[in-house]
Amino acid sequence: MRFVWMMACTAVMAALIWAPGADAQSKPAGPPAAQASNAPAVAERASELLKQMGNYIGSAEQFTFHADITFDHVLPTGQKLQYAATEDVALRRPGGLYVEWSGDLGDRQFWYDGASVTLFDPATNFYASDAAPADIDAMLDKAVDKLGFSPPLADLLYRNPYEAVRGKVQYGLYLGTTQVNGRTCHSLAFVDQDVDWQIWIDTGPQLTPCKLVITYKAQPSQPQFSAVFTDWNFAPRIAEPVFKPQLPPGTEKISFAPVASSVSQK
């Protein structure tokens, strides 16, 4: 599984930081049974619901959603500070994506129009842009592997979200149903090599995420990231200019510098 929920890029003499991450330095212990067999131990109900959610989102040609986000920042002393942000996403396949992030540590805007990606920090006079493949999946792969960043919650934007999140699962549980902001949702819990994560999935008719919590257990103080989802819309009216960069006069273009080692979980 590749959790790249935060986004960052750096350039010579300037930096546009969405939020930090880090590669894991050790492989946490899993349950004895899973270690003994070297095979994932995932409850069938949990795996099936995750696949159904992935199929539902991945089959959509367009959608929009809103997420209320909290995330931890760990000080050198080990103290965790919690920050908040909101994220709005508009997606149209094969080649349209807009992400707007507004948070305690700053705002970011991301555009993809089927030919290029652009990242802008409104608090600075700089933006970064680069050529991109013609479809969203290939664009996200390039952003992570070559440009060193990825839009938050990127795994949900792939054509096959189940494949994007299932790869490194060691074991998983189905925990029944519960309420999230008035929505009845299935509760699932999973353990990966580097993270523990929970996801709540609407019981229907739209099998969308209600909430996500990630614990980066291989990092000092085990920081967490959480997102509560609302306003899923699978028949939005998205104007074409939404996917084109809207930059104020006087902004200066800078180059992406790969920083994948500091922002990705693989």
User: What are the pLDDT digits (tens) for 89-130?
Assistant: 999 999 999 999 999 999 999 999 999 999 999 998 899 999
Flag whether pLDDT at 8 surpasses 90: no
- Provide the pLDDT for residue 147: 87
pTM of whole model > 0.85?
A: no
Tell me the domain boundaries of the chain.
Answer: 8-21+40-262
Please write the tens of the pLDDT for every residue from 128-178.
999 999 999 999 999 988 888 888 899 999 999 999 888 789 999 999 999
d(CA 146, CA 228): 30
Please write the tens of the pLDDT for every residue from 211-254.
999 999 999 999 999 999 999 999 999 998 999 999 999 999 99
CB-count exposure of residue 79 (10 Å: 0-12, 13-18, 19+): exposed
Architecture of 8-21+40-262 per CATH?
Clam (2.50)
- Answer yes or no: are the C-beta atoms of 40 and 34 closer than 8 Å: yes
Q: How many residues does the chain have?
A: 266
